[in-house]
Amino acid sequence: MKRTAIVLSLLLACASFSAANTITMTSGFGEMSGTFVSFNPPASYSLVLLAPGVGFGFATGTPSDFPSTPGLQACVPCYPQFMADILVDSGIGVNSAGQWYNSLIQFSAVSFVSSLAPNGMLTVTYKANATLDFALCVDPTCGTTSAQLVWNPKELWLVTAQFAPDPNFSGAYDFLNASFQAPIPAPIVPEPSSVLLVGSGIILLIGKVRKTAKTAHDG
């Protein structure tokens, strides 16, 4: 397994771990940009994962098998409606506090919606499953771990990606950037009182239209 290029920043001052500790992350956010054909700067991503009392942050990084690791950064040209892999990375690394880790990161799309701007830019919003597993290691071999940081697989992520038309392939696109957010924000549901007011207004409007029509007919 190749060593990931990411440098992790841990905010674990308030947490104490034993070998049996498993912490489930409950929220997160991040971003990704660049493609494997753009080496200056190269494709990169950053993520911040949070749990009550614990933060687990990533600085800028690149997939470990760059550029062959599947994901949006390898999508040139892109056919977003066929995309499944969004970000895939794994490997052993060391965080900014000097602690070793062994990680698996995988975002896979389960559905998407898209919109096309007049200038040809394409925005695709994916709902994605995430496998996020970080073992904090005692030594560089990662034979013994002090804690496991995981993501609840039932919680989906919202990934909003931007694409530009590919000049060399008709109907294809090039990946530009993406933002990550979890958990997915709940849809806005109007309060019962608001629904009642809207319904009352519609009823009054219908009544007024009928009355006007009847008056015109009688006249």
- Report if residue 26 sits inside a domain: yes
Residue 101 inside a domain? The answer is yes
On the question of pLDDT at 212 being above 90, the answer is no
Full residue range of the structural domain in which residue 217 is found: 189-219
- Establish if 1 belongs to a structural domain: no
pTM: 0.74
Rounded Cα gap, residues 180 and 127, in angstroms: 10
Examine the pLDDT at 205 and tell me if it is beyond 50: no
What residues have CB less than 8 Å from 66, skipping those under 6 apart?
5, 36, 42, 43, 73
Band (188; pLDDT cuts 50, 70, 90): low
Mark whether 52 and 67 lie in a shared domain: yes
Residue 197 has pLDDT above 90, yes or no: no
Q: Is-contact 34 43, C-beta < 8 A?
A: yes
d(CA 189, CA 195): 10
Which residue, among 98, 107, 89, has the nearest Cα to 4 in the 3D structure?
A: 89
Of the candidates 74, 103, 148, the residue with the CA atom closest to the CA atom of residue 7: 103
User: How many domains is the chain built from?
Assistant: 2
For residue range 120-153, what is the model confidence (pLDDT) as tens digits? 999 999 999 999 998 888 888 888 888 888 999 9
Residue 8, amino acid: L
Question: Is 126 in the same domain as 198?
Answer: no
Q: Domain check: are 146 and 194 in the same one?
A: no
- Check whether residue 25 and residue 104 sit in a common domain: yes
Q: In DSSP terms, which residues pair with 117 in a beta bridge?
A: none
Residues 195 and 178 placed together within one structural domain of the fold: no
At residue 6, what are phi and psi to the nearest 5 degrees? -75, 150
Q: Residue 123 carries which side chain, given as an amino acid letter?
A: T
Is residue 1 within 8 A of residue 86, CB to CB? The reply is no
Query: Does 92 reside within a domain?
Result: yes
Residues 111 and 200 in one domain: no
Distance (Å, rounded) from C-alpha 177 to C-alpha 119?
A: 17
170 and 204 share one domain: no
